[in-house]
């Protein structure tokens, strides 16, 4: 690619400043852009953050807790990367139910 193309001031941004900010906050393994969910909420507060999955090793199977996005797993069909609990919530945010609530 030519260098003068990269420095051309007449070109417009590809997307809004808000989306640019959300993209910069998004971590691999998230189901959607960080910050696209409820303001002030984090992944750790979401009902879809973290799940158990089975790991097999040398003929044995055990369940392992994974701090990852269950919605991303549902959408892609793959076990995603770990997502920090402090990451800004995405549009798929669901409020966690209290363990004693039905």
Residue 102: pLDDT over 90? no
- Residue 84's domain comprises 37-92
pLDDT of residue 65: 92
Give the pLDDT confidence of 61-99 residue by residue, as tens digits: 999 999 999 999 999 999 889 999 999 999 999 998 876
In a domain, 16, yes or no: no
In a domain, 47, yes or no: yes
Our count of domains for the chain comes to 1
In a domain, 10, yes or no: no
Distance (Å, rounded) from C-alpha 51 to C-alpha 26? 20
In a domain, 70, yes or no: yes
pLDDT of residue 3: 54
Q: For the chain, how are helix, strand and coil distributed in percent, rounded to 5?
A: 25, 25, 55
Entry pTM: 0.75
Backbone angle region of 59, left / alpha / beta, with phi > 0 → left and psi within -120 to 50 → alpha: left
In a domain, 13, yes or no: no
Q: At 88, phi and psi to the nearest 5?
A: -65, 140
Helices (H), the chain: 3-6, 17-25, 70-76
Give the pLDDT confidence of 8-57 residue by residue, as tens digits: 677 777 788 888 889 889 999 999 999 999 999 999 999 999 999 888 98
């Amino acid at each position: 690619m030519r260098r003068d193309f990269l420095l051309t001031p007449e070109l417009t941004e590809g997307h809004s400043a808000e989306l640019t900010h959300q993209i910069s906050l998004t971590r691999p393994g998230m189901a959607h852009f960080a910050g696209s969910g409820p303001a002030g909420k984090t992944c750790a507060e979401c009902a879809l953050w973290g799940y158990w999955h089975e790991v097999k090793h040398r003929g044995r199977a055990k369940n392992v807790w994974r701090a990852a996005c269950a919605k991303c797993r549902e959408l892609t069909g793959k076990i995603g990367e770990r997502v920090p609990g402090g990451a800004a919530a995405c549009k798929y945010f669901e409020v966690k139910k209290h363990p004693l609530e039905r």
